[in-house]
Chain A
Amino acid sequence: MRDAVTLEALGIPTAIIVNDVFEPIAHATSALLRLPDDYVAKNVVWLPHPTSNLTDERAAALIDDRIDAIRDVLLGRTRVAALAPAVPRTGAPDRESLETARAIVHGLAESLRADGADLVLSDFAEGTLAGELRIGELTCDDGSCIMPTDALERMVEAMVRPKIASLRSVTLREIRLIPD
C-alpha cells in the first residue's frame, strides 16, 4: 500500500488488488500512514483468499469478474456508503444499526471463517456494538492468521464508525469452540 500512496502523491491513480484476508492489515496500515478513512474503500479491490492455488484460467476469470471494480478505482467512480443519520429514529433503531454493522464486517467475518474463526455481532445498544470472536479449528498452526481480540475491536470500530455515527465502542468476547 505504501507504493500506492507514493504513486498517488505523484499524481498517478493507483488501484491496489489484495486478497481479502489482508483487510485488517490494510486498515491498520491506512491508519498508520494517516490516510483518509475511505482510502481503503476507494482504492482497494478485494480478491477472495487464497489465490496462489488458482489455475491461470481461473485467475483470468476472477479478474474478468473484478475488472469493473478496478476501472472504478482508476476512474474515481467507487461509491462509498453514505453515513447513517446521527439521530436514532424511534422504533427499533439499534436493530437497524446492528444489521448495518453486520453488513459492514461481512467481508472481515468471511475471511475469519476461511481460517476457522468467526465474528458474530450480537447487539447494538446505547452506542456499544457487542459480539463474539469464535475460535474453532484454525487453518494456521500458530494462530497467527487471527488478529488479537482487542485489535479486532479497534478494527471493527474503525470500519463501522464512518457509517454509524452513534457508535461509541466495540466489545468482543472471545470464545474458543472446543472440538468434539
Chain B
Amino acid sequence: MLEFSSEAAAYEAFVTQHSDGLPVVLPTPERVERMLTGTREHPDDVVGLVYPSGNEATVRDVAVNAVMAGAEPRQLRLILAVLDAVLDERFNINGIQSTTHCAYPLVIVSGPLAFESGLSAGNNVLGNGLRGNLSVGRAVRLVLTNVGGGRPGETDMAVQGTSAKISFCVAERLDTGCFPSLAERQGGDASETSVTIMAADGPITVSDHRSATPERLLTNVADTLRHMGSLNAAAPGPAALLLAPQHARVIARAGWTVADIQRFLFETARNPLRRLHQGGEWDPVEPLYSIARFGDANDPDTLVPVLATPESLLVAVTGGDTGGFSAVVTSWPASMVLHRFVAHDGSYSKPARERIPA
C-alpha cells in the first residue's frame, strides 16, 4: 500500500508515475473492494506474468488498475479475460511492450455480456465518449504500464505509437441480422461472449457510400488492407475488418457470408512483386517467407497476399448505422490472435479451436 500526506500529493504521484499520461481514479481500499465484487476469481490468483518486468499480475492488481481506469465492477470479468489472453505466452506481450512498432492489443468483445457490462457497439465505437469501451481498454493499458513496466522511452521504444495505445476496445453489433457473431463463428452459441485480441496497428478508415455490391465495396477494403506501409505487406499475417453495419448490409443482402468476405479479401488484398520492389519493407533478397506458395519469385506479376489464410482475417460488425465508414486494422507479426470465452460468473475458458492457421 502507498501512503500520501494528502489527496493532492497522491493525485500528483499517480498522474506522473502510474498512469497513461492522464489523471486516474485513486485506488482506495474501498474502491478496490467494490471492484472485486465484479468477479468470483480469488483476489490473490495470478492472472499472468507481465513483461518486461516479469512481475505477476494478480486479480487484485488488475482490480486496482481497473479502478484507476475508471472502470465499473461489471467490467472486471471482461478485463480479466482480456488480460488472461494478453499475458498468454503465445501473444508475446514482451515483444509488443518493447517494440519500436506501434503494436498494441486490439480487443473485440462479442456477445451479450458486452452490453451487460456497459460496453457499446454503436456510434463512435473507436473514438471518444464510450465509457465502458474506454475503461476496459484503459485498464489493460494501465496493467501493462504499472505491473509490466512498459514505459515510453525506457522500455517501450515505440517510435510514434498510436492513440489506440490509450484504449483499443470495441464490442460487436449483435442486432444487424447480417452474420453470426465472432463468438458464434469461434464455436460459441448465441448466449456466449468471447473476447478476441490481436497485436494491432492503429485503425485505417475505409469510406464508401457508393458501392452497392460486395465486390465493389470489398475492392475498396482490399486496397486499404494491402497498403505497403503495413508489416502485413512484407509478411502475410492476421488483420481485422471492423465492418460498419451499413457495409455489412450491402454484403449480407447479396447472400455473402463472412467466409465469402475472407476468401475475396485473401484473393484480392495482394500486391504484385513489381509493386513491392518499389518501396516499403519487402526485402527482395531475403523474403520473410517463401513466395513459392503464391507463384514464381522471378515473375514481377506474382501476387503476394497480406493475409496468411482467408481465416486470418477477423471480421466483426461494429459502429453506428449513420453511414458507410469501416476500419481496417493490420497487425504486428511476432504474435498470435487469441480468443477467450467469458462466462457470466466471470470465469473464462479457451475456445476449442484457438489457433488461426498461419
Contacts and interface: CB of A to CB of B under 8 A. Distances in A.
Are A and B interaction partners? Answer: yes
Interface of A: 2, 28-29, 31-33, 142-144, 147-148, 150-151, 154
A147 B98 CA distance: 13
Nearest to B53: A32
Given A29-B52, A32-B53, A142 B159 contact: yes
* Chain B, interface residues (CB within 8 Å), range: 10 to 19
A27 B80 CA distance: 32
Given A142-B100, A144-B100, A29 B155 contact: yes
A150 B157 CA distance: 12
9 contacts: A2-B54, A32-B52, A32-B155, A143-B159, A144-B100, A150-B153, A151-B153, A151-B154, A154-B154
B236 interface: no
B194 to A, nearest CB: 32
B27 interface: no
Interface of B: 52-54, 100, 149, 153-155, 157, 159
Given A2-B54, A143-B159, A148 B153 contact: yes
B154 A32 contact: yes
Contacts of B53: 32-33
A141 to B, nearest CB: 9
A143 B159 CA distance: 8
Contacts, number: 25
A33 B100 CA distance: 21
A107 to B, nearest CB: 20
Contact of B155 (A28, A142, A144, A154): A28
B159 A144 contact: yes
Contacts of B54: 2, 33
Nearest to A150: B153
Contacts of B153: 148, 150-151
A148 B155 CA distance: 12
A149 to B, nearest CB: 10
A154 B155 CA distance: 13
A24 B100 CA distance: 15
Given A2-B54, A142-B100, A32 B157 contact: no
Contacts of A143: 159
A32 B51 CA distance: 11
Contacts of B100: 142, 144
A31 B52 CA distance: 12
Contacts of A32: 52-53, 149, 154-155
A151 B154 CA distance: 7
A145 to B, nearest CB: 9
The 4 residue pairs across chains A and B that have the minimum distance between CB atoms: A144-B100, A151-B153, A32-B149, A28-B154
